[in-house]
């Protein structure tokens, strides 16, 4: 049954990719949420550009939704910023990962991050958690962020987006209490509509 679901999911992605022309890539920006049977409430880990992410924040799912862009990529000077926006319960939550020393000029250059592991405790890395009007620079105990795969998606022989897929986990403090962010996973396409360099 699981193999059949995965085969159907692959077929849907291929069908969407092949049915789009250069001017119409709306379907490639939509979210395809397939729940992980081993991590309830989170999307399965994939590398197909499903435009999803998810993690547990102390066992509460923080996941992408179909209204917000799941990932924005902002490059400013020598810093790469990945912004994951979704929901936790009924609350909008944003988790920002900043990596100094990385400054791709375009979303095509994100391919250079393939199989890259970041130690989030390193001084070149920063994690910010935003809930409502509150933004907290997190003091990390430990953690890592890995872009396991970066791949380019072409439609009609033109680059449409770069798909970033990977995992993350870390421990930090929220309101003075230790908290674990676990089972983090992401699979999102980055193209014209969500890549900014200024």
Segment 141-193, tens digit of pLDDT: 999 999 999 999 999 999 999 999 999 999 999 989 999 999 999 999 999 99
Are the C-beta atoms of residues 98 and 125 closer than 8 Å to each other?
yes
Q: What is the pLDDT of residue 29?
A: 79
pLDDT over 60 (residue 110): yes
**pLDDT per position as a tens digit, 13-65:** 544 444 444 444 446 778 999 999 999 999 999 999 999 999 999 999 999 99
* Cross-strand bridge partners of residue 71: 84
- Tokens (6 digits) for 28: 């490639």
Q: What is the DSSP letter of 44?
A: P
Are the C-beta atoms of residues 96 and 127 closer than 8 Å to each other?
yes
Instruction: Give the angle 195-63-89 at the CA atoms, nearest 5°.
Output: 130
Quote the pTM value.
Answer: 0.86
For residues 162 and 153, what is the distance between their CA atoms, to the nearest angstrom? 6
Are the C-beta atoms of residues 102 and 122 closer than 8 Å to each other?
no
């Amino acid at each position: 049954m699981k193999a059949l679901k995965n085969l159907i999911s692959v077929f849907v992605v291929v069908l969407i990719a092949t049915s789009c022309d250069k001017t119409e890539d709306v379907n490639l920006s939509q979210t395809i949420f397939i729940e992980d049977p081993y991590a309830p409430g989170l999307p399965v880990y994939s590398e197909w550009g499903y435009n999803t992410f998810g993690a547990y924040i102390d066992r509460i799912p923080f996941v992408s939704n179909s209204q917000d862009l799941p990932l924005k990529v902002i490059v400013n000077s020598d810093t790469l910023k990945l912004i994951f926006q979704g929901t936790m319960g009924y609350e909008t939550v944003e988790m920002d990962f900043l990596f100094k020393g990385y400054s791709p000029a375009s979303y095509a250059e994100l391919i250079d991050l393939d199989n890259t592991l970041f130690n989030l405790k390193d001084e070149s890395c920063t994690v910010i958690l935003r809930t409502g009007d509150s933004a907290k620079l997190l003091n990390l105990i430990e953690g890592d962020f890995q872009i396991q795969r970066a791949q380019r998606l072409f439609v009609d022989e033109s680059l449409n987006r770069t798909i970033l897929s990977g995992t993350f986990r870390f421990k930090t403090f929220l309101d003075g209490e230790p908290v674990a962010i676990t089972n983090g996973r992401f699979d999102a396409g980055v193209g014209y509509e969500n890549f900014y360099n200024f």
